[in-house]
Copies of this chain bind each other. A is one copy, B any other.
Amino acid sequence: MNSPQAPVAESYHAQHSPFGAFASFTAGLVDAPGGFGQSLRRAANQNLYVGFRKSAGQDWQLLPFLTPPKSQETAFTGDDTIVQPPRGFQSLRPENYRRTLGWASDTWRADDTRFGFSLLSPFGPMADPAKLKKAAARFHLAPAITGWIEYDNRTGTTPVELIFGVGNGEDTLRPLGDAHPALAGFAGGGRFGYATKSARDVAVRQGFDVLNPRFRDYHGLHVIAGETGLVFTVPAGRKKRFPLVLGFYAAGPVTSGIDTTYAYTRWFDGLEDVLVHGLAGYRAYEKLAAQRDRELARSRLDADQQFLLAQATHSYLGSSQLLWHKNQPLWVVNEGEYRMINTFDLTVDHLFFELAWHPWAVRNTLDLFVRRYSYRDQHGLSFTHDMGVNDYFTPAGRSSYECDGLEGCFSHMTMEQLLNWVLCATTYAAHTGDRAWLRANQKTLLACATSLRNRDHPDPAQRDGLLKHDTARVGAGAEITTYDSLDVSLGQARNNLYLAVKTLGAWVLLERAFADLGLKKDAAAATATADLLARTLTTKFEADTGFFPAVFEKDNRSRILPAVEGFVYPLFLGYTDATDPAGRFAPLFGQLRQHIGQALRPGVCLDAASGGWKMSSTSTNTWFSKIAIAQHVVRQLFPEVMNAAARAGDRVHADWQRTPGCGLDAMCDQIRSDSGVACGSRYYPRGVTACLWLLE
């Protein structure tokens, strides 16, 4: 979208999303539409009219949220000679405005900051929805976001007009005021809509050309036309801010396989209820958003890091989906553009964010994995990669992703998901102190330990702690890891450095969990296995190169950053015995320090062209969510290896996300490290791993 020489202007979509509605109002990419999207894998395609004009005779100044809209008038009149796109506006260029993405807000300022427009997506600590009282449920689960538009006309001499509008292309919207006179706004059926409070200084507009409507019915609209808007008037000498609410509503059955409805339908009876609620609660939502913005702004994170966490959080909320099944909440995070349901690889990464804000979500997902998405193969218990796709829950014990007889992408991830259950479960229980849940899952934890050991070797005498035996489900194929689309350095599960260190983390956590449960023998056995594995790992270190190989097979010489990923769990839980460089794993730590220190060099795991962090020295496909974990672990455990080039990564990673290579699809995870262009995992929730940085 830009010539390689030109400096690339900031241009990115952000998802503005209620909690748990799997819905986004997406906006921000320059010269691109966006708007209301329900369960989509990318931005919607509505033109947004957001801007101001300083007097009736002048052009509108609009933020660049639209492509030149084509009037639908010709379809009615049969006359294509008189039709033209809306005129009378100038599309503001990035240099004409300033955009600020906060943790829970996205604000555009123009005209010397006199003009302002902001979209808020407030979030906060939230109790288990099964136990929420009505008022709290309505506050937290309202499928709406709020916003505002303002102009400071205190020094002006003529009234200034503001516009907020949506053009739904071929589809028409309906005026809300017909049935709800207190609402000024428009809705698409009962599915989405926007509103402000009816007032004398707010006019509604609907026409083929919303800026210059030629046809007006008895109430000034033309409801067969697709373009709509609210026009606000700010008198000379006044500063006015107008509240906006943008809502969604999806009634009735949502999913198949497991029958669910949206949780919010228990507390809201329709879109109008949501919009009225949003306007009534506007101040409280504004306050909550401001609180989050302040927290992030006052954190130790630099501007680039703050941007990355803010953008990641926006996309996480966009993939979140709180359902209701048989009188109980059912928590889902959809996997961005892939829309797989509760992909376990993502659950384990969302863990840190969810434990901070809605820890019941982790437990809810773990329970469903046990109840429906676990299975037993020749080695014992494990879990599926996901629970389905696109609102379709797959049959029990089966994922949507995993196919048979493969050695690469789409193969099974049996070992990976077994580790993910162990890590999520033990981290959840330790962090929340929910010992009752841990005890209820004692049998599962013990079965996981047995299964882990069997995947090392069925014969205890031959075990070294490394996972070496694939599930029978792969047939003639081989298990893979979550890093499915990278090269073999991270793709193969057997004898894999990343998985081995992750396994070490799992044993360290199991050791504590078993001890908490009073299972002394099992705790001791876990300790022994952890120590055995740590010793085995030290034997894999290449003294000549000072690196670990990525795979302990076939003379692999790839160098990977996720070598340290497994330490994020004991680090997060403050298990200092396991994370003390001089502690029980001191020899391994020394080697990992050397490995990472050497990896964080241009041409190894820093991209030679861009300077961005790379997961693997032998792949240009790098994943932001995993970079964020690696950065956190490295900065905490091996701060001395953070050289200037490595520290420069944040700027590079932020630039990737705020320019169209990624920004076209809001937060992206799989990125070409040389170009910064997304190559997968678009519109993606997983980047919230960056919340770990707040703990540094």
Q: List A residues at the B interface (Cβ < 8 Å).
A: 41-42, 74-80, 170-172, 174, 178-179, 187, 189-190, 215-218, 222-224, 251-253, 256-257, 270, 337-340, 388-392, 394-395, 398, 400-406, 408-410, 473, 484-485, 621, 670, 679-680, 682
A255 to chain B, nearest CB (A): 8
Complex Cα–Cα for A41 and B76 (A): 13
> How far, in whole Å, are A252 and B395 apart by their CA atoms in the complex?
26
**Cross-chain contact B394 with A178 (CB below 8 angstroms):** yes
User: What are 18 residue pairs bridging A and B, where the CB atoms are less than 8 Å apart in the complex?
Assistant: A74-B680, A75-B338, A75-B682, A76-B410, A77-B485, A80-B679, A172-B339, A172-B390, A187-B256, A189-B390, A190-B256, A217-B403, A217-B404, A218-B404, A222-B410, A223-B389, A224-B389, A224-B400
> Do residues B338 and A76 form an inter-chain contact, with CB atoms below 8 A?
yes
A50 to chain B, nearest CB (A): 24
Given A172-B390, A172-B392, A215-B410, 12 more pairs with CB closer than 8 A: A42-B170, A74-B680, A75-B338, A76-B484, A77-B409, A77-B680, A78-B680, A189-B390, A189-B391, A215-B406, A216-B404, A223-B400
How many copies of this chain sit in the oligomeric assembly? 2
- Tell me the nearest residue of chain B to A337, going by C-beta: B75
Complex CA gap A682/B170 in Å reads 13
Contact B253 A253 (CB under 8 A): no
Whether B75 lies near A217 (C-beta < 8 A) is: no
Interface pair B75/A680, CB less than 8 Å apart: yes
Alpha-carbon gap, A410 to B78, bound state (A): 13
Which of B190, B339, B398 is within 8 Å of A253, CB to CB? Answer: B190
Whole-angstrom CA separation of A75 from B42 in the bound complex: 12
Chain B residue numbers with a CB within 8 Å of A174 are 256-257, 390, 392
Q: Are A223 and B78 in contact (CB under 8 A)?
A: no
Distance of A329 from chain B, by nearest CB (Å): 21
Which residue of B41, B79, B670 is within 8 Å of A170 (Cβ)?
A: B41
* A403 lies within 8 A of B215 (CB): yes
Residues of B within 8 A of A251 (CB): 252-253
Task: Choose among A41, A174, A253 the residue with the greatest number of B CB atoms under 10 Å from its CB.
Answer: A174
CB distance from A131 to the nearest CB of B (A): 28
Instruction: Return the chain B residue nearest A391 by Cβ.
Output: B189
Which residues of B have CB within 8 Å of A680?
74-78
Q: How far is the CA of A621 from the CA of B224 in the complex (A)?
A: 22
Residues of B within 8 A of A485 (CB): 76-79
Q: A179-B257, A403-B217 are in contact. Are A76 and B409 (CB under 8 A)?
A: yes
Q: How far is the CB of A671 from chain B (nearest CB, A)?
A: 9
Q: How many Å from the CB of A189 to the closest CB on chain B?
A: 6
Q: Are A390 and B171 in contact (CB-based, < 8 A)?
A: yes
CB-CB < 8 A to A77: which residues of B? 408-409, 484-485, 680
- B224 and A340 form a contact (CB under 8 A): yes
Residues of the B chain whose Cβ atoms lie less than 8 Å from the Cβ of A389: 172, 223-224
* Chain B residue with Cβ nearest A394: B223
Closest chain B residue, CB of each to CB of A390:
B172
A284 shortest CB reach to chain B, Å? 28
For A187, what are the chain B residues with a Cβ–Cβ distance below 8 Å? 256
- If A178-B395, A216-B404 touch, whether A679 touches B78 (CB-CB below 8 Å) is yes
* A-B CB proximity, top 4 nearest: A252-B252, A174-B392, A78-B485, A78-B680
CB distance A256 to B78 under 8 Å? no
Name which residue of chain B comes closest to A168, CB basis.
Answer: B390
Residues in B neighbouring A170, C-beta threshold 8 A: 41-42
Residue of B nearest to A411 (CB): B215
Docked Cα-Cα span, A409 to B224, in Å, equals 13
| List of B residues within 8 angstroms of A257 by Cβ | 174, 178-179
Q: Looking at the assembled complex, report how far the CB atom of A355 sits from the nearest CB atom of chain B, in whole angstroms.
A: 28
CB distance from A387 to the nearest CB of B (A): 12
Q: How far is the CA of A641 from the CA of B388 in the complex (A)?
A: 68
Q: A75-B337, A215-B410, A679-B80 are in contact. Are A223 and B392 (CB under 8 A)?
A: yes
Q: Tell me which residues across on chain B come within 8 A of A398, comparing CB atoms.
A: 217-218
Kindly report which residue of chain B lies nearest to residue A670, judged by CB atoms.
Answer: B78
Q: How far is the CA of A394 from the CA of B206 in the complex (A)?
A: 14
B-chain residues with CB within 8 Å of residue A217 when the two chains form the complex: 398, 402-404
Chain B residue at minimum C-beta to C-beta distance from A619: B78
A388 / chain B contacts, CB cutoff of 8 Å: 223
Closest-by-CB residue of B relative to A40 is B170
The residue that A216 contacts in the complex, of B80, B256, B403, with Cβ under 8 A, is B403
Q: How far is the CB of A496 from chain B (nearest CB, A)?
A: 19
Which of A253, A338, A409, A410 lies at the interface centre, i.e. has the most chain B CB atoms within 10 A of its CB? A410
**Chain B residues, Cβ within 8 Å of A270:** 253
Which residues on the B side are within 8 Å of A74 (C-beta)? Answer: 680
- Residues of chain B contacted by A401 (CB below 8 angstroms): 224
In angstroms, how far is the closest chain B Cβ from the Cβ of A473?
8
